[in-house]
Amino acid sequence: MPVFKTKLHQTGQTPIPPNSGLLAAAGPLVGVQIEVPEALAKLLAETGKPAPSPVSGMALVDTGATASVVDASLVDALGVKPVGTASVGTAGGQVTQPVYPIRIQLQGVGLTINFSRVTGAPLKEMGLVALLGRDMLTSMILYYDGPNSEYTLAF
């Protein structure tokens, strides 16, 4: 079972002191690469067109999210068209958001997840490109070690 373990630390501060609260403040973040779905990449290759370059950024492992979410403007920029909509419960109430097929790669571990449906939402303001929800976590083990400001994902 591959394991991804990380310890959060502030810039220029290694190692992180125990009980720093940084993991509690930032949450479990992981570097990801957002890519066009495999079917679109194949279609573009068959027509002699290059696939758009993947976009890298940070994703939050969000145990409160039923489903994974990607930044809608990023997916639109990749040329991925919505395949439907979903009604999403947010702190501000119910909203209707687009749903996309997308491929997300966890950087540093070589794990690529092909999603047939992820919700698109504005995440850039939070400095994120994705929320990795329970739809992804159902096939993983998440160990959250708050006192040591580290977490582990095993898959």
How would residue 93 be classed by pLDDT, with cut points 50, 70 and 90?
confident
Decide the pairing of beta strands 55-61 and 29-35: antiparallel
In tens, the pLDDT along 97-150 reads 999 999 999 987 778 999 999 999 999 999 999 999 999 999 888 888 888 788
Could you give the CA distance from residue 95 to residue 3 in angstroms, rounded to a whole number?
35
Handedness of CA 32, 37, 40, 44 (dihedral sign): positive
pLDDT in tens, 32-59: 999 999 999 999 999 999 999 999 999 9
On the question of pLDDT at 3 being above 80, the answer is: no
